A and B are shown apart, each in its own frame.
Chain A
């Protein structure tokens, strides 16, 4: 069982927006501004999409945005494109044991 809870699947049509949630506790998501999101296509390594809850690394389209409310962080993908179909993982600094925890992952399908 993963430390952070994500829905197993999400979907949307091209051009639409979809939001993926990531729920933790006061010891991780709710306690620190250190949440990150990763995109993983089949057979490939994960790619960093969001860090520090809302920041995008250079090269990541601004269609990807992050937010947080309480113990739940969210990744929103706007203007869905076919290439956005992938698995998405959230991650957070976990202060109780001073390490990194991941969510179980969400499979995003572009209909």
Chain B
């Protein structure tokens, strides 16, 4: 079955750019949409954004100015970049596969059915 694995630095300095990669195994990245979700320590889940195999993206409006999600189909990977980080960006970052519903001629991408184990990123000098 499909498995996801996050990778990247566990420590990032304030004002720098956080960069993470999610590797998809057991299936092709070209068949679905893929997302990033984060969870600050002791807090709830926050949607960051999603991407499809062709590079079409959707971002949380509150993070949109700092977020870039990209895809590399040749490596079966997708990536997250979050710029100008502060301590508030300290969190466990999850990658996840996105599921959809279809109604009135449109697809709605909204649930995450396969998750990675998550990776902790701390923003500190």
Contacts and interface: CB of A to CB of B under 8 A. Distances in A.
Contacts of A105: 44-45
B25 to A, nearest CB: 16
A52 B103 CA distance: 11
Nearest to A47: B115
B45 A46 contact: yes
Specify the main secondary structure of chain B where it touches its partner: strand
A57 B113 CA distance: 8
Contact of A46 (B58, B59, B108, B112): B112
Given A36-B110, A45-B116, A93-B110, A51 B47 contact: no
Which of B59, B103, B112: most chain A CB closer than 10 A?
A: B112
A52 B115 CA distance: 18
Interface in B83-125: 94, 99, 101, 103, 108-113, 115-118
B58 A98 contact: yes
Contact of B44 (A2, A34, A48): A2
B99 A51 contact: yes
Given A99-B47, A99-B60, A102-B46, A33 B103 contact: yes
Interface residues of A, number: 27
B8 interface: no
Nearest to A87: B44
Interface of A: 2, 32-34, 36, 38, 44-48, 51-52, 57, 89, 91-93, 97-105
Across the A-B interface, the 7 shortest Cβ-Cβ residue pairs: A93-B110, A36-B111, A45-B115, A100-B47, A51-B111, A105-B44, A34-B110
27 contacts: A33-B101, A33-B103, A34-B101, A34-B108, A34-B110, A36-B110, A45-B94, A45-B117, A46-B112, A46-B115, A47-B115, A48-B111, A51-B101, A51-B111, A51-B113, A52-B101, A91-B45, A93-B101, A93-B108, A93-B110, A99-B47, A99-B58, A100-B35, A101-B47, A102-B44, A102-B45, A105-B44
Interface of B: 35, 37, 44-47, 49, 58-61, 94, 99, 101, 103, 108-113, 115-118
